[in-house]
Chain A
Amino acid sequence: MAVGSEFRMTDVVQLEEIHKVYDSGEVPVHAVRGVTLTIRGGEFVAIMGASGSGKSTLMNLLGCLDRPTKGRYLLGGTDVSGLDRNALADLRNQKLGFVFQGFNLLSRTTARENVELPMLYGRRHFSSKEIHDRALRSLDIVGLTARADHFPSQLSGGQQQRVAIARALINEPQILLADEPTGNLDSKTSVEIMGVFQKLNDQGITIVMVTHELDIARYCRRNLIMRDGRLVSDVQVADRLTATTEMQRILAAESEAKLTA
């Protein structure tokens, strides 16, 4: 898969004074108040913050699911802040990959067909065989080839999230966005998913994720903290955790517990 060759040192994301105001309710809610941020290719960024801090709104803006009220958003060098619905949909399809907290897989649809979904809405036409093959390669990256014909209901939470990651990867996006990807998972499975992300990042894929768990953020390279719609902290992670090491520790602890029990 060409994912490994995507490594680039150019700026993938540039946000300049981004604001987002929701005025659907009685009082307008200023969710994001002037965020300026640059994310370079190959980075692995965690956005943290309490609920209501605006981190999810920022994520939706980054993911082109929403448009900023004010400010400029350059994705891969192009200004996307003024694009219409369909153009944004094409961007999501071609340049962005999404992983959601609730997985958001189509029920009663096999893992492979779920992974194929973004390819069906692409500009280019692929033969059924090509689509099929690429879906399998994508599943291979997350280690789920054996489960290609299983339905989401037959998969564990971690496996479902890996299918969602495979779906996000199928169109070889410039950036992988994950909104609380471990929010619905237990701690061991969370480590497993972070391991998948670290492996992808090591191959050069840019990843931005939202989380409120500090220890999850320590698997990333860079941590951003938001409060009241503003970025209040931006640090490189010093004592970074490695999923493989952590997993070994957990497994060791588990077997020890079994011995003593």
Chain B
Amino acid sequence: MRFLNIIKVALRALRRSAMRSVLTALGIIIGVAAVIAMVSIGNGAKSQVEASIASLGQNIISVFPGSNNSGGMRGGWGSASSLTVEDALAIRQEISGIVALSPEMSDRSQILANGLNWNSSIRGEDTAYLDIRLWPIAEGEMFSEADVRSATKVCVIGKTVATQLFPDSDPVGQNLRIRNIPFRVLGVLSNKGFNFFGQDQDDVVVIPYTSHLKRIARRPNLNSILIQAQSPEIMARIQQDVTDLLQQRRSGREPDFTVRNQQELAEAATATTKTMTVLLGAIAGVSLIVGGIGIMNIMLVSVTERTREIGIRLAVGAHGRDVLTQFLIEAIILSSMGGALGVLLGVGSSQLISRLNGWPVLVSTSAIVGAVAFSAAIGVFFGFYPARKAAQLDPIEALRYE
């Protein structure tokens, strides 16, 4: 019975000081919303980086030629022309645990078709390339082993090349000309988008590496060898085996190649996003603490006014417990309403940011729970603690409080 009256008293008190109530709740709302938005954006960015790493293919090891040294000028990795098709075949034959392998050529060239022209990347690859990169064909088909063996003039093209050169027609079955050599389009690749270095992965023409060597580059050396290992665990071993094998094939000369593990790249990228999440979390934590201090300040500043109020209540017959219950109810109402609004605002702004920037945003339950629990605890504690002190005063002292 009395409890109902106390609830009434608490609601009246909240209504009476609407501004203080709103400011207190605002501290909680901002704190909760900031944490949720920050963590959601951080998680979204992390998952996007992970997805773009996964889109490069899994368990990938790349072999690049070493640096070229001409008259003391060193050319950097890949500048030497030391990697051969025989190296690639030897790796495929002698090293176990390799799922797929593709000798790679790459070049840029002007392409003509349909009366239009476009400068694009020309890649020479084996048939396994699309499997390694997890890149399905959208229309038509991939060139075959036979095409690779006989260096046929065929190609599959990326979406960008398709739209630039064949804007109004189906490219499959048509011809395009690379360095004046006609290649027949066998298929169009599905959309892969930009990689996380910002390159358009769809701006590509893939032809058999043999055709590339013989007709486009006209040199015997590969640009790189793409190897896919069976599992992440054996990548280090394969990396070592490849190094040993190539070293052995060069019989003691300076190593003119380098073997790179994509795992390293993936790890670096994940580490980056982890740092980002921690950073965003820290910013969110700071905003939560600032929000908490806001709540604390408002609660403590209002204590003068409220001490007199408590004195009046005690003088007309309230028990200390009644006053405490009132303040607890007030704090709980403010915290829970502020928390709920904060969750709505946080999730809403995450969605908005995701829509505006096209980022994926992952709303994290633990962030919601943690933020709400933390600010509710601050709200209740700083709403309750000064009131507890005041309620223990003598009514006379509380009335005299200035």
Q: Does A34 contact B (CB under 8 A)?
A: no
Contact of A104 among B311, B318, B319 (CB under 8 A): B311
Q: Does B396 contact A (CB under 8 A)?
A: yes
**Residue pair A120, B5 in contact (C-beta under 8 Å):** yes
Find residues 92-150 in chain A having any chain B CB closer than 8 Å to their own CB: 92-94, 98, 100, 104-109, 113, 117-118, 120-123, 125, 128
Q: Does B293 contact A (CB under 8 A)?
A: no
**Residue pair B320, A85 in contact (C-beta under 8 Å):** yes
Q: Does B1 contact A (CB under 8 A)?
A: yes
Among residues of A, the one whose C-beta sits closest to the C-beta of B321 is A86
Q: Which residues of B contact A167 (CB under 8 A)?
A: 316
Please judge, given known A-B contacts A65-B395, A121-B5, whether A108 and B319 are in contact too, CB under 8 Å.
no
- How long is the Cα–Cα vector from A86 to B316 in the complex, in angstroms? 12
Contact of A117 among B6, B17, B316, B319 (CB under 8 A): B316
**Residue pair B12, A65 in contact (C-beta under 8 Å):** no
**Residue pair B317, A92 in contact (C-beta under 8 Å):** yes
**Residue pair B394, A66 in contact (C-beta under 8 Å):** yes
Find residues 196-229 in chain B having any chain A CB closer than 8 Å to their own CB: none
**Residue pair A89, B319 in contact (C-beta under 8 Å):** yes
**Residue pair A121, B1 in contact (C-beta under 8 Å):** no
Q: Which residues of B contact A53 (CB under 8 A)?
A: none
- Among A65, A90, A100, A105, find the residue whose CB has the most chain B CB atoms closer than 10 A: A65
Nearest-CB distance from B309 to chain A (Å)?
6
Please judge, given known A-B contacts A100-B399, A125-B2, whether A106 and B316 are in contact too, CB under 8 Å.
no
Among residues of A, the one whose C-beta sits closest to the C-beta of B320 is A85
Q: Does A60 contact B (CB under 8 A)?
A: yes
- Among B312, B314, B316, find the residue whose CB has the most chain A CB atoms closer than 10 A: B316
Please judge, given known A-B contacts A100-B399, A109-B12, whether A118 and B17 are in contact too, CB under 8 Å.
no
Please judge, given known A-B contacts A98-B315, A121-B322, whether A104 and B308 are in contact too, CB under 8 Å.
yes
**Residue pair B16, A65 in contact (C-beta under 8 Å):** no
**Residue pair B317, A93 in contact (C-beta under 8 Å):** yes
- How long is the Cα–Cα vector from A98 to B395 in the complex, in angstroms? 12
- Among B8, B12, B321, B399, find the residue whose CB has the most chain A CB atoms closer than 10 A: B12
**Residue pair A60, B396 in contact (C-beta under 8 Å):** yes
- How long is the Cα–Cα vector from A106 to B316 in the complex, in angstroms? 12
With an 8 Å Cβ cutoff, the count of chain B residues facing the other chain is: 29
Interface of chain B: mostly helix, strand, loop or mixed = helix
Q: Contact size class for A?
A: 20 to 34
Please judge, given known A-B contacts A104-B308, A106-B309, whether A121 and B317 are in contact too, CB under 8 Å.
yes
Q: Which residues of B contact A100 (CB under 8 A)?
A: 399
Q: Which 5 A-B pairs have the closest CB atoms?
A: A93-B317, A125-B1, A120-B5, A118-B316, A121-B317
- How long is the Cα–Cα vector from A212 to B315 in the complex, in angstroms? 23
Nearest-CB distance from A104 to chain B (Å)?
5
Contact of A94 among B313, B317, B321 (CB under 8 A): B317
Please judge, given known A-B contacts A104-B308, A109-B12, A120-B8, whether A65 and B396 are in contact too, CB under 8 Å.
yes
**Residue pair A109, B1 in contact (C-beta under 8 Å):** no
Contact with B along A219-233 (1 / 0, CB 8 A): 000000000000000
Please judge, given known A-B contacts A66-B394, A104-B308, whether A89 and B16 are in contact too, CB under 8 Å.
no
Q: Does B9 contact A (CB under 8 A)?
A: yes
**Residue pair B17, A121 in contact (C-beta under 8 Å):** no
Among residues of A, the one whose C-beta sits closest to the C-beta of B314 is A89
Contact of A121 among B4, B305, B316, B399 (CB under 8 A): B316
Q: Which residues of B contact A92 (CB under 8 A)?
A: 315-317
Q: 17 A-B pairs, CB-CB below 8 angstroms?
A: A65-B396, A66-B396, A86-B319, A92-B315, A92-B317, A98-B315, A98-B316, A100-B399, A104-B399, A105-B312, A106-B312, A109-B16, A117-B312, A120-B5, A121-B319, A122-B317, A125-B1
**Residue pair B313, A117 in contact (C-beta under 8 Å):** yes
- How long is the Cα–Cα vector from A65 to B305 in the complex, in angstroms? 20
Contact of A120 among B9, B305, B320 (CB under 8 A): B9
Nearest-CB distance from B290 to chain A (Å)?
28
Q: Which residues of B contact A90 (CB under 8 A)?
A: 317
- How long is the Cα–Cα vector from A108 to B5 in the complex, in angstroms? 19
Among residues of A, the one whose C-beta sits closest to the C-beta of B323 is A121
- How long is the Cα–Cα vector from A27 to B12 in the complex, in angstroms? 44
Q: Which residues of A contact B9 (CB under 8 A)?
A: 120
**Residue pair B317, A106 in contact (C-beta under 8 Å):** no
Please judge, given known A-B contacts A60-B396, A66-B394, A120-B8, whether A104 and B315 are in contact too, CB under 8 Å.
yes
